[in-house]
Amino acid sequence: MTELGSYLRACRARITPREAGMPTSAGHRRVSGLRREELAVLAGVGVDYVTRIEQGRVGTVSVEVLTALARALRLDPDEREYLLRCAAAPSR
């Protein structure tokens, strides 16, 4: 997994669906944070694309997609800047 993928997963884990503006159900959730599917809906991208980004299987992610992900995750300006830097960093 890349630094970008690790950071996206960490950001998803710390925001609840309610904080992200998603409708919540009364049922039990297996994860407390956002699921990939929920992030994809909020960002307006495909869940497969979010999965591939997190797994490091995407070469370059556009600034538009990164901005949409940052907005969906409610990142502050410093966190957004870090996300952009992670995306620009060469893969290991």
Give the CA dihedral 52, 55, 70, 20, nearest 10 degrees: 90
Asked if the structure places residue 72 within a domain, the reply is yes
Does residue 25 sit within a domain? Answer: no
pLDDT tens-digit profile of 13-50?
Answer: 999 988 998 887 666 667 789 999 999 999 999 999 99
Distance CA 69, CA 71 (A): 5
The answer to the question of residue 62 being in a domain is yes
Distance between CA atoms of residues 86 and 32, nearest Å: 24
Report yes or no on 28 lying in a domain.
no
pLDDT for 27 equals: 66
* pLDDT value at 11 more than 60: yes
Here the CATH number for the domain that contains residue 61 is: 1.10.260.40
User: How many angstroms from the chain centroid is the CA of residue 47?
Assistant: 10
Look at the chain and report how many structural domains it folds into: 1
The whole-model pTM stands at 0.89
The residue range of the domain holding 84 is 3-20+33-88
Asked if residue 26 belongs to a domain, the reply is no
Inside any domain, residue 16:
yes
Q: How far apart are CA 4 and CA 14, in angstroms?
A: 16
